[in-house]
Amino acid sequence: MNLGDILTTRQIVPELKATSRWEAIDELIGVLVDSGRILPEHREPVTAVVKKREQSMSTGIGFGIGIPHASTDVITEVVAAFGRSRRGVNFDALDNQPVHLVTLFLVPQGQFQRHLHTLAGIAKVLRRDDFLKALESAPTAEAMMAVIRDFSSGR
């Protein structure tokens, strides 16, 4: 499972409005609702489970990357939203640096292996300098999606 498999253009925000990790999480969950990936009535329970996970330890893994994630019983397949912030988001990251790329993903409850594989796949591609440079220069959600598909396919 990779980013190219779980994202669509509608699930990408080329410039996040958020300035904090909590705002970024809310904004990306809103993207999942707006794109039909989660139902509007599930917004609050999803927000609660993601924020609970985030309170245990920041998912700002360093290098300008944040990967908030959680398991929930209100979805049946892995879903994700991706946001970029050129100015940076205060994410309480492990390296105390602002986060510029945020990938929020949700996995159905009880799918621990899928959760780990998805997290590992996302982290692997997000750590590539060539991927980060290509994403940084992509002007639109469509261009960002093309970069994500290209690199997620094993380039």
Average pLDDT over residues 88-116: 92
> CATH code at 11?
3.40.930.10
**Structural domains in the chain (count):** 1
DSSP designation for 20: B
Q: Band of the pLDDT at 155, cuts 50, 70, 90?
A: low
3-state secondary structure of 80: strand
Q: What domain range includes position 59?
A: 3-152
Distant-in-sequence, close-in-space partners of 5: CB < 8 Å, separation ≥ 6: 152
pLDDT digits (tens, 9 = 90+) for 1-24: 688 889 999 999 999 999 999 999
pTM over 0.95: no
pLDDT value at 120 more than 90: no
Measured distance CA(106)–CA(112) in Å, rounded: 11
Residue 25's nearest CA partner among 45, 43, 44, 51 is 51
117 is catalytic: no
Residue 46 and residue 52 in contact, taking contact as beta carbons nearer than 8 Å: no
**pLDDT over 90 percentage in the chain:** 77
Residue-level pLDDT at 146: 95
- One of 42, 69, 100, 115 is an active-site residue; which one? 69
Q: Band of the pLDDT at 118, cuts 50, 70, 90?
A: confident
Average pLDDT over residues 63-86: 94
Residue-level pLDDT at 127: 83
Determine the residue type at 102: V
3-state secondary structure of 89: strand
